[in-house]
Structure 1
Amino acid sequence: MEQWKKNLAVLWVGQFLVMAGMTMIVPFLTLYLQSDLGLKGEHETSMWSGFIFAANFVTSFLFQPFWGKLSDRYGRKPMLLRSGFGMAIVMVMMGFATQPWQLLVLRMVNGTISGFNPASVSLVSSTTPKEKIGFAMGTLQSGGIAGTILGPFIGGLMADAVGFRPIFYITGIMMFLASLLSMFIVKERFDKQAAATAAQMTIREGFKRLSRVPQIPALFAATFLIQFAMMSPMTLIPLLVQKLHGTTENLAFYSGFVGSVTGLSNMIASPILGKLSDRIGSEKILGIALVGAAVMFIPQAFAQTVWQLLLARFALGIFLGGLVPSVNSLLRKYAPDGMASRAFGFNSSTLGLGNMVGPITGGILSGWIGIQGLFLLSAVLMFANSIWVYQTLLKRLKVPAKG
């Protein structure tokens, strides 16, 4: 097997294990705070749960550009292993927490050292032949999505079987094994001497240089809007399902099904659209996917039954499957020489920003425009971004990639 295929296979497994491990705690976080960490009352538990859940994204947003800078200097694989082994240790330590503030601090540390996913994307993009990059990005994306979908499901089953604390230990072991696999099998060609002699830029200077390439801000905006559009209505979907379903019978099942079906179609579509992008170009796939995603948000606002909502969200996931892989392929294409990892680091921060801003904004705006209004707002923002992408990427296809 060619080395780039080995890298892709191992890092697909790594993406799956890391994302499954990160999302396993979602179903039982509030219960863990009450049963093991001594919190009482719904308000206190909800407040701590919100802070603890967001803490990971806040520090990740702040530190990803720094790790991207070091990746360009020292290589992608060292950053991959730093993040993987570091998160494994922190995850095990979460199982020993006795106070809510300890879990909060550990989540902040976890976000600070995180970066397995952007390092994986950067490494795969740098070792894969250009004619296969779309397929590789789509396949890698499907691993992370599969972990995100199955993580809460596995976590819920394990919580019933073994209790809460052992899940943190098991998750840490999974992350450790994924990192160990990467350490022995993943290979990267990295010229450390050339990187050491290259002119060093601060994070601020690196962002300025990347921003001068007109395509890159449009790609960052696409990443932010993908996460914003997905996360802003996420916490309100169970309420919408309850309203459409009209009864409490099987409500949890339908809420979970509606929440996960987008990830399911995303996982299926990502490798297919990635392979198609190798034939017709990532710019075209990105443009089509943005418009398609915008259109698919509209029927969600007017759904009258759970099944209509389910079908619209399944179709949305198909178009979302073409967004993230296309963005990653194009970041590699348009990033100046020696700055690809830094571009992926900033893009990861943008993703974290969408994860933070989306739920907060959705909660605030829902009081005025409702969840239906949030779906329409997401559609408008996606349409606006598709116009930006058309102006900066599709109309400039004949312009040389490197600036």
Structure 2
Amino acid sequence: MEQWKINLAVLWFGQFLVMAGMTMIIPFLPLYLKMDLGLTDNHEIATWAGVIFAGNFVTSFLFQPLWGKLSDRYGRKMMLLRSGFGMAIVMTLMGFAANPWHLLFLRMLNGTISGFNPASVSLISATTPKEKMGFAMGTLQSGAIAGTILGPFIGGLMADAIGFRPIFYITGALLFLASLVAAFLVKEPFDRAKAAAIPQVSVIQGFRELSHVPQLTALFAVTFLIQFAMLSPMPLIPLYVEELHHSAENLAFWAGFVGSVTGLSNMVASPLLGRLSDKIGAERILYVALIGSAIMFIPQAFVGSVWQLLVARFALGVFLGGLIPSVNALIRKFTPEGMESRAYSFNSSTLSLGNMAGPVIGGLISGWTGIGGVFLVSAVLLFANAAWVRYSLNNSKRQAVVSGQDRTD
């Protein structure tokens, strides 16, 4: 098997485990706080659960750029292994937490040392043949989506079968195994001497340099808006499903189904649209996927039944499947040489920012307009982002044509 395929297979498995590990606690976190960590007041439990779950994303948002800088300096594989083995240890320690403060500290530490995902994307982008880039990015994305979808499901099953604390031990062991496999099988042609010769700048200066590339700022905005649009209605979905279902029967099942169906279609569509982007160009896939995603948010505000909502969200997932792979491929295209990992880390930070901002702002908007307004705001933002992306990418083509003419003259 070609080395890039080995890298892709191993890192797909790693992405799956990392995302599953981060989301596995969703179904049982309140119960863990109540039964094992001694909390009794329901309001206190709900508050701690929200803070603990968000803590991972807060520190991840802050520290991703630092790891990206070190990745460009010392290699993607080294940062990937640092993150994988570090998260394996921290995840295991969560099973020994004695109070909510311990769990919050460990979740924030987990976000601080994270970086497996952007390091994986950067490594795949550096080792995959250009003509296979879309397929590789789409496949890698499907691993992350699969982990995000199946993580809560697996966590719920394991909690019923073996209790809460053993879940952390098993997850930590699997992360350690995935990192160990990556250490032996993943290969990266990284030239340390060449990297050392490139002038090193601070994280802030690196951000300033990358922000001067208009295509990258537009692409970072895509990543933020994907997460914002996906997560802003999520806390409200059970209430919306209850309103549409007109019954309390099987309400939890339907709410879970509506919440996960977008991820399922996304997981299937990502590799397919990635392969298509290799043939017709990532720019076209990105633009069509943005417009399609914006359109698919509109009917969700006006559906009259759960089945209509399911169809709209399934179609939304198909279009969303073309966004992340296209964004990752185009970031590689427009990033200055030697700053690829840093660019992917900034992109990962915008993803974490979307994870944090989406539920908060979505709740505020729904208070003014109802949940329908949340879907419509997401649609408007995606339409605006599509116009921004179109202008930025077309402008880069015009500049390339002009510079080519100047060289000819």
Fold shared by both chains (TM-score > 0.5): yes
Report the Cα distance in structure 1 between the residues aligned to 2:68 and 2:245, rounded to whole angstroms. Answer: 46
State the 1:197 CA deviation.
1.5
Aligned partner of 1:336 in structure 2 is 336
User: Contact between 1:227 and 1:354, CA under 8 Å: does it hold in 2?
Assistant: yes
> Are residues 400 and 81 of structure 1, via their aligned partners in 2, closer, same or farther at CA, if it must alter by over 3 Å?
farther
Aligned partner of 2:148 in structure 1 is 148
User: Contact between 1:19 and 1:148, CA under 8 Å: does it hold in 2?
Assistant: yes
User: Contact between 1:67 and 1:115, CA under 8 Å: does it hold in 2?
Assistant: yes
State the 1:400 CA deviation.
4.5
Query: What secondary structure, in the 3-state scheme, does the structure 1 residue paired with 2:370 have?
Result: helix
> Are residues 399 and 11 of structure 1, via their aligned partners in 2, closer, same or farther at CA, if it must alter by over 3 Å?
farther
State the 1:219 CA deviation.
0.3
Q: Which amino acid in 2 is paired with 1:110? A: N
Query: What secondary structure, in the 3-state scheme, does the structure 2 residue paired with 1:381 have?
Result: helix
Aligned partner of 1:361 in structure 2 is 361
Aligned partner of 1:198 in structure 2 is 198
State the 1:365 CA deviation.
1.7
State the 1:52 CA deviation.
0.4
Q: How does 1:3-402 map to 2 (within 5 A)?
A: 3-397=3-397, 399-400=399-400
Report the Cα distance in structure 2 between the residues aligned to 1:400 and 1:38, rounded to whole angstroms. Answer: 63
Q: Which amino acid in 2 is paired with 1:387? A: A
User: Contact between 1:21 and 1:174, CA under 8 Å: does it hold in 2?
Assistant: no
State the 1:205 CA deviation.
1.0
State the 1:370 CA deviation.
1.1
Report the Cα distance in structure 2 between the residues aligned to 1:57 and 1:17, rounded to whole angstroms. Answer: 17
State the 1:398 CA deviation.
5.5
Query: What secondary structure, in the 3-state scheme, does the structure 1 residue paired with 2:62 have?
Result: helix
Q: Which amino acid in 2 is paired with 1:323? A: L
Output one character per residue of 1:339-383: Cα deviation in whole Å (capped at 9) or x when no partner.
110000100000000000111111122111111100000000000
State the 1:123 CA deviation.
0.3
Q: Which amino acid in 2 is paired with 1:138? A: G
User: Contact between 1:227 and 1:358, CA under 8 Å: does it hold in 2?
Assistant: yes
Q: Which amino acid in 1 is paired with 2:277? A: S
CA-atom RMSD, angstroms?
1.1
State the 1:399 CA deviation.
4.3
State the 1:394 CA deviation.
3.6
State the 1:14 CA deviation.
0.8
User: Contact between 1:284 and 1:394, CA under 8 Å: does it hold in 2?
Assistant: no
State the 1:41 CA deviation.
1.3
User: Contact between 1:65 and 1:345, CA under 8 Å: does it hold in 2?
Assistant: yes
Q: Which runs of 4+ in 1 moved over 2 A?
A: 394-401
In the alignment, structure 2 segments of 5+ residues that lack a partner are 404-409
Report the Cα distance in structure 2 between the residues aligned to 1:159 and 1:400, rounded to whole angstroms. Answer: 56
Report the Cα distance in structure 2 between the residues aligned to 1:103 and 1:363, rounded to whole angstroms. Answer: 26
State the 1:396 CA deviation.
3.1
Q: Which amino acid in 1 is paired with 2:199? A: A
State the 1:84 CA deviation.
0.4
State the 1:397 CA deviation.
3.2
The count of aligned residue pairs is 402
Output one character per residue of 1:246-299: Cα deviation in whole Å (capped at 9) or x when no partner.
111111111111000000000000001001111111111110000000000001
Report the Cα distance in structure 2 between the residues aligned to 1:370 and 1:124, rounded to whole angstroms. Answer: 42
Query: What secondary structure, in the 3-state scheme, does the structure 2 residue paired with 1:219 have?
Result: helix
Report the Cα distance in structure 2 between the residues aligned to 1:394 and 1:246, rounded to whole angstroms. Answer: 48
State the 1:24 CA deviation.
1.0
Q: Which amino acid in 2 is paired with 1:99? A: N
